[in-house]
């Protein structure tokens, strides 16, 4: 019985790790899509929201959630180019 429980616990742990990894990838993808929409729309929030099929309120929430800002994105890109 102990062996079966240990195997099941290991299975559950691996499933949780995969789920967390999946959630992180989804967040990264969503953030990248929002940044791309902003770039395409010259950082105009209303246009970027329409392009992503969101309301301005929702995209505003995502901006705060992910810490998206024109300066931060441009600074990150400059560091990446210089590295």
CATH superfamily, domain 2-82, is: Homeodomain-like (1.10.10.60)
Q: Is this model's pTM higher than 0.85 or not?
A: no
The total of other beta-carbon atoms located within 10 Å of residue 82's CB is 6
pLDDT for 77 equals 74
d(CA 73, CA 48): 15
Task: From 64, 46, 65, select the one nearest 54 (Cα to Cα).
Answer: 46
Span 46-70, pLDDT tens digits = 999 999 999 999 999 999 999 998 8
Domain boundaries, the chain: 2-82
Using CA atoms, how far apart are residues 41 and 49, in angstroms rounded to an integer?
9
Q: What is the share, in percent, of the chain residues with pLDDT greater than 90?
A: 48
């Amino acid at each position: 019985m102990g062996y079966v429980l240990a195997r099941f616990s290991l299975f559950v742990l691996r499933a949780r790790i995969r789920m967390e990894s999946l959630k992180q990838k989804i967040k990264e993808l969503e953030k990248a899509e929002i940044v791309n929409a902003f770039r395409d729309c010259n950082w105009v929030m209303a246009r970027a929201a329409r392009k992503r099929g969101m309301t301005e309120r929702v995209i505003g929430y995502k901006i705060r959630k992910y810490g998206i800002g024109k300066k931060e994105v441009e600074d990150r890109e400059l560091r990446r180019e210089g590295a």
